[in-house]
Structure 1
Amino acid sequence: MSPRPFLLALLLAAAPLAAMAQSPAPLPAWEQLTPAQRELLLAPVRERWNNSSPEKRRHLLEHAERWRTMTPEQRSHARHGMKRWQDMPPEKREQARALFEHIRPLPEAERKAMLERWKAMTPEQRKAWVEAHPAKDPPRSR
């Protein structure tokens, strides 16, 4: 699963409404959408919710709340990160998971130093580092 599956599902569900966004008229408020348009937007989220475990549902709610409180700039940055993650080859994702898990608990100065060391590593050195420091969090399935 991508890092932000709830948002991705919501964004993908909105794709059929993209034609409306192409027109110069402003998009309607939620209340002005037809029942069919509302259902089109909500169906993927409802299906994902119903198919999720209680733990996953809690994660979806927490994620939605974080998204709601983000500024437009933060949302844009998050969308860019989601796109980068989706386009990343599996080996690079594994490296990113391992590196993130390793540096997350470190103080900021140590995190920056580790990132600089990482950038200076060759692909072979990075592979060896990941083998020595594998991510504990297993890759999520789509």
Structure 2
Amino acid sequence: MTSRTTRLFLLGLLVFASAQAFAQSAPPAPLPAWEQLTPQQREALIAPLRDRWNREPDERPRMLERAQRWHAMSPEQREQARHGMKRFEGMNPEQRRQARALYGRMKELTPEQRIELRDQWKKMTSEQRDAWMKENAPRRRPQREER
């Protein structure tokens, strides 16, 4: 019985000590600004983009347009875009399909019409949404290779 108590005590002490060590570990140091990166670090960041640029010549105009649009955005607009990308990544395939259709349609609307469509969408049943999707389905782009 004593050895069991001793083992439990030592196990508890070990758990406590490791929890303390984990809690006290320093947060990782922030990475430097672009200008302070080494050439190797810069290359590691740029290489995937260069590879995609060379691998997908048909996508080059779209890639360049996106980069120019990103550069023209305010910091608030960039944060909003990042938030939207994170939301999109968390969606299932059906939700993504609906989001693409809504986005494609909303680009054509005035701000007032967007609010109206959003309010209508929230009130629709799944059957009504399916019907709306059939009427407003975005054109399908060819599938790209998985990266």
Is TM-score (shorter-chain normalized) higher than 0.5? yes
Corresponding position of 1:104 = 107
Assess, with a 3 A threshold, how the Cα gap between structure 1 residues 95 and 61 changes in structure 2: closer, same or farther.
Answer: same
Equivalent residue pairs, number: 119
**Structure 1: which 5+ runs fail to align?**
1-20
CA distance in 1 between partners of 2:95 and 2:60 (Å): 28
Amino acid at match of 1:33: L
Residue from 75, 78, 83 that aligns with 2:81 = 78
> What residue is the counterpart of 1:41 in the other structure?
45
Q: 1:122 aligns with which of 92, 100, 125?
A: 125
Alignment partner of 2:29 out of 6, 23, 47:
23
For 1:123, the aligned partner's letter is S
**Structure 2: runs of 5 or more not aligned:** 1-26
- Larger radius of gyration between Structure 1 and Structure 2: 2
Tell me the TM-score normalised to structure 1 length: 0.70
Task: Give 3-state SS (helix, strand or coil) of 2:109's partner.
Answer: coil
- Please list the CA deviations of residues 53-96 of structure 1 after superposition, one character each: whole Å capped at 9, or x if unmatched: 2x421221221122222222221111111111111111111112
Distance in 2, Cα, partners of 1:44 & 1:81: 23
Q: Which moves more between the two structures, 64-73 or 36-45? A: 64-73
The answer for the alignment partner of 1:5 in structure 2 is none
Moved more, 128-137 or 90-99: 128-137
Cα gap change, 1:77/1:86 in structure 2, threshold over 3 Å: closer, same or farther? same
Provide the TM-score with structure 2 as the length reference.
0.68
Distance 1:140 1:71, change over 3 A: farther
- Give distance in 2, aligned partners of 1:82 and 1:123: 24
Equivalent residue number for residue 68 of structure 2: 65
